[in-house]
């Protein structure tokens, strides 16, 4: 268990990593990455019982699956800062011969990644499979999955939501990053998601809503609450209301920074807002 | 010699049941086609290792990929159409690119699915699956071979596509252990090589009688595995016969014929003829009537062999 003050330091450093990585290769997805920092830092530095000496089978530990693979910068930074691979490797993000591909993959054997993601809508199914295997193996640990809210427009996700609810997969926690933005605009304008609480509830899930998913205390509270809810025989969904681009003022409040990189001047402006707490790579 | 008529999908069911008894890590997933895939015996015997996913094939492929994490060996079962084309991106990203040990078992492949018609008769699946890096592609010819292949793929680490069918066909192979990637010479000959896969293997054996009457000595090789291809067996045969016919219940474009054409073109160019469906969808009908109409039966193989021998000069 890491203290809140320490977690906040990690968050600030992870945000610096994200903007520097995306700036370094002049591509990637900073917006969603910045919005999910508190969630991933909470999972890896506080909630999950996990082993940074990675092995693919992941037995007797909690597992995490990133379904919206385009937010790889936050995933890679958190994995590196948790000791899965050298922090210095972050500088190879999206470069040729790197293990840090644009979207996460097992293909280059990057420690911490258990399935490729990027083509949207697939991660929850994989997480369900992993959760079933844990049950078959009498492994009492939990499987976590994160997907984007725009990603809920994919049909496969609803097949998976229906399955987990109907078959009562109760060692599974899904977080939905509700930032209400996607590449072409707001989710409301592109294809409205409707009332997600009602939808998940109707599919047999227990739903928790975090009003401010960029407040680390709120995120930790929700994740701790899920531990108590799991025994109810239902999968649990956390609707995590976040702000795309959180922590960098000019990236917030718009879909514009979903998938573009800052220039040199913009990078400096971002770094000025983010304290270097653990040392840049 | 008369052989018992049995369906290849029942060979899969028998193989899966045997695996259930011998390998605790084998699990089975089905998308609401348990009876059609002959997975009912496994379901009954091992209910805790059988997962009814419902009519949701994309989710089934993802769940199978996830189940490998922690050591399970998932066998998915649905029709070939819904095992490949419907879920191509799921297989590509979550299984093939992720290197997951999933066995995609596909029944009702090809035109011999029959009466349900073209919506269900996939003739493109071999091509789709062989193009995926790291994917093993197997197409078995009868009950015994399908049973043995099912057992063999559990021992192999990596994604596999196992293709079989619906109709009852002669069960002519012996129950010897299946070797992935090994072509089987069923008859030696000197004038033409016939490389057949799946249901066309029996048709090739039938064509051989008529070829013999016409003084053509054919070598019949059962290509059980389209990928990896048994290159040395194929090259050894064509170096002897100097011409070949490929036969498959699949589009000519992109199937076994394409693989053999590339192999011979690079190593030992020879005249080739291709028996397969020629850039067309299928239709409803009786399996053997369709094989005849779409030119993939014994007569088509006979004609192709006569033609290629003539071409060789």
Assess whether pLDDT exceeds 80 at residue B11. yes
Task: Decide if B5-170 and B184-312 have a common fold.
Answer: yes
Q: Which CATH superfamily is domain A4-271 in?
A: Thiamin diphosphate (ThDP)-binding fold, Pyr/PP domains (3.40.50.970)
Q: Which residues of B touch A160 (CB under 8 A)?
A: 59, 62-63
Both tokens assigned to B259: 């693989």
Helix A216-229 vs helix A4-25: angle between axes, to the nearest 10 degrees?
110
B1 — pLDDT class (breaks 50, 70, 90): confident
Residue B24 with chain A: CB contacts under 8 Å: none
Burial class (CB in 10 A: 0-12, 13-18, 19+), A166: exposed
Give the CATH number of domain B5-170; options: 3.40.50.720, 3.40.50.970, 3.20.20.80, 3.30.70.260.
3.40.50.970
Cβ atoms of residues B12 and B147 within 8 Å: yes
Band of the pLDDT at B76, cuts 50, 70, 90? very high
pLDDT at A109: 97
Q: How far apart are CA A275 and CA A49, in angstroms?
A: 28
| pLDDT bucket at B239, cuts 50 / 70 / 90 | very high
**Whole-number pLDDT of residue A40:** 98
Residue among B59, B60, B94 minimizing CB distance to A115:
B94
How far is residue B52's CA from residue B30's CA, in Å, rounded to a whole number? Answer: 5
When the candidates are 3.40.50.920, 3.40.50.620, 3.40.1010.20, 3.40.50.2300, the CATH number that belongs to B184-312 is: 3.40.50.920
For B107, B210, B241, the CA distances from B204, given in Å and listed in that order, are 22, 10, 16
CA B266 to mean position of chain CA atoms: 25
Q: Is the pLDDT of residue A229 over 90?
A: no
Buried b (16+ CB within 10 A) or exposed e, B199-221: bbbbbbbebbebbeeeebebbbb
Q: Which of B58, B65, B97 sits opposite A156 (nearest CB)?
A: B58
In this prediction, residue A202 carries a pLDDT of 98
- Stated pTM of the model: 0.97
Domain boundaries, chain B: 5-170, 184-312
DSSP helix/strand/coil, B73: strand
In angstroms, the CA B278 to CA B66 distance is: 38
pLDDT tens profile B116-157: 999 999 999 999 999 999 999 999 999 999 999 999 999 999
Catalytic residue among B18, B43, B57, B208: B57
In this prediction, residue A168 has a pLDDT band, given cuts at 50, 70 and 90, of very high
Angstrom distance (rounded) from CA B177 to CA B275: 28
Average pLDDT (B270-291) is 98
DSSP string of A78-97, one letter each residue:
HHHHTTSS-GGGGGGTTSTT
Cα–Cα distance for residue pair B203/B169, rounded to 1 Å: 10
Instruction: Provide the mean pLDDT of chain B.
Output: 98
- The DSSP symbol for B230 reads -
| B115 included as an active-site residue | no
The average confidence (pLDDT) of chain A is: 97
**pLDDT tens digits, A60-89:** 999 999 999 999 999 999 999 999 999 999
For A58, the closest of B54, B67, B70 (CB atoms) is B70
| ipTM, interface predicted TM-score of the complex | 0.97
Q: Strand A185-186 vs strand B272-277: parallel, antiparallel, or unpaired?
A: unpaired
Min Cα distance B37 → chain A (Å) is 21
B contact set with A (CB within 8 A): 27, 48-49, 51, 53-54, 56, 58-72, 74, 89-90, 92-94, 97-100
3-state secondary structure B170-186: ECCCCCCCCCCCCCEEE
Structure confidence at residue A1 (pLDDT): 58
Residue A2 has pLDDT above 90, yes or no: no
pLDDT over threshold 90, residue A240: yes
Q: Which residue has the tokens 């294809």?
A: A191
Query: Considering only alpha carbons, which residue of chain B is nearest residue A65?
Result: B66
Query: Smallest Cα–Cα separation from A18: which of A79, A82, A90?
Result: A90
**Which DSSP helix (H) or strand (E) runs through A271?**
helix A264-271
Task: Give B-chain residues touching A120 at CB under 8 angstroms.
Answer: none
Closest CA to B114 of B35, B199, B56, B41: B199
Chain A residues lying within 8 Å of B67, measured CB to CB: 129-130, 132-133
Put simply, the answer to whether B100 touches A132 (Cβ < 8 Å) is no
Burial readout A7-43 (b: 16 or more C-beta within 10 A, e: otherwise): bbbbbbbbbbbbbbbbbbbeebbbbbbbbbbbbbbbb
Above pLDDT 90, what percent of chain B?
99
In the predicted model, what is the mean pLDDT of residues A141-164? 98
Nearest Cα of chain B lies from the Cα of A121 at a distance, in angstroms, of 9
For residue B65, the chain A residues in CB contact (below 8 A) are 115, 125-126, 129
């Amino acid at each position: 268990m890491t203290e809140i003050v320490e977690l906040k330091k990690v968050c600030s450093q992870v945000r610096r990593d994200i903007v520097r990585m995306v700036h370094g290769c002049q591509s990637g997805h900073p917006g969603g990455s910045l919005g999910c920092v508190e969630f991933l830092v909470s999972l890896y530095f506080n909630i999950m019982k996990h082993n940074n000496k990675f092995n693919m089978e992941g037995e007797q530990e909690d597992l995490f699956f990133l379904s919206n693979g385009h937010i790889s910068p936050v995933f890679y930074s958190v994995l590196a800062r948790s000791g899965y691979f050298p922090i210095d490797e972050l500088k190879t993000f999206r470069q040729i011969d790197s293990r840090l591909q644009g979207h996460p993959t097992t293909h280059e054997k990057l420690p911490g990644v258990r399935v490729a993601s990027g083509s949207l809508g697939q991660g929850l199914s994989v997480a369900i499979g992993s959760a079933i295997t844990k049950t078959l193996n009498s492994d009492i640990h939990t499987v976590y999955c994160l997907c984007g809210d725009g990603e809920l427009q994919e049909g496969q996700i609803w097949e998976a939501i229906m399955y987990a609810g109907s078959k009562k997969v109760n060692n599974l926690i899904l977080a939905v990053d509700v930032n209400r933005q996607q590449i072409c605009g707001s989710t409301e304008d592109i294809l409205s998601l409707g009332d997600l609480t009602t939808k998940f509830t109707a599919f047999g899930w227990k739903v928790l809503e975090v009003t401010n998913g960029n407040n680390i205390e709120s995120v930790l509270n929700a994740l701790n609450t899920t531990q108590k809810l799991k025994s109810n025989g239902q999968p649990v969904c956390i609707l995590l209301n976040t702000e795309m681009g959180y922590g960098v003022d000019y990236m917030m409040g718009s879909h514009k920074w979903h998938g573009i990189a800052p220039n040199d001047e913009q990078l400096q402006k971002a770094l000025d807002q983010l304290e270097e707490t653990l040392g840049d790579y | 010699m008369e052989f018992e008529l049995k369906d290849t999908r029942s060979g899969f069911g028998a193989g899966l049941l045997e695996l259930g008894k011998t390998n605790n890590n084998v699990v089975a997933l089905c998308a609401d086609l348990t009876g059609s895939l002959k997975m009912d015996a496994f379901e009954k015997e091992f209910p805790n290792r059988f997962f009814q996913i419902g009519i949701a094939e994309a989710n089934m492929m993802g769940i199978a990929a996830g189940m490998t994490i922690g050591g399970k060996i998932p066998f998915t079962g649905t029709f070939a159409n819904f095992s490949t084309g419907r879920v191509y991106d799921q297989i590509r990203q979550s299984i093939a690119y992720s290197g997951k040990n999933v066995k995609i078992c596909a029944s009702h492949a090809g035109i011999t699915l029959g009466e349900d018609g073209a919506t269900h008769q996939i003739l493109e699946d071999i091509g789709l699956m062989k193009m995926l890096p790291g994917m093993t592609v197997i197409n078995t010819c009868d009950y015994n071979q399908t049973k043995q292949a099912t057992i063999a793929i559990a021992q192999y680490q990596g994604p596999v596509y196992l293709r079989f069918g619906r109709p009852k066909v002669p069960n002519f192979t012996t129950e010897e252990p299946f070797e992935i990637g090994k072509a089987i010479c069923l008859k030696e000959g000197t004038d033409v090589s016939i490389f057949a896969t799946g249901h066309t293997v029996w048709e090739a054996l039938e064509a051989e009688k008529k070829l013999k009457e016409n003084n053509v000595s054919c070598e019949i090789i059962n290509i059980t595995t389209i990928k990896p291809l048994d290159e040395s067996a194929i090259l050894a045969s064509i170096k002897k016969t100097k011409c070949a016919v490929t036969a498959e219940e699949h589009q000519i474009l992109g199937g076994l014929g394409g693989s053999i054409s590339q192999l011979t073109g690079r190593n030992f160019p020879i005249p080739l003829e291709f028996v397969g469906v020629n850039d067309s969808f299928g239709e409803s009908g009786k399996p053997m009537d369709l094989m005849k109409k779409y030119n993939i039966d014994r007569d088509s193989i006979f004609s192709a062999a006569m033609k290629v021998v003539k071409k060789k000069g």
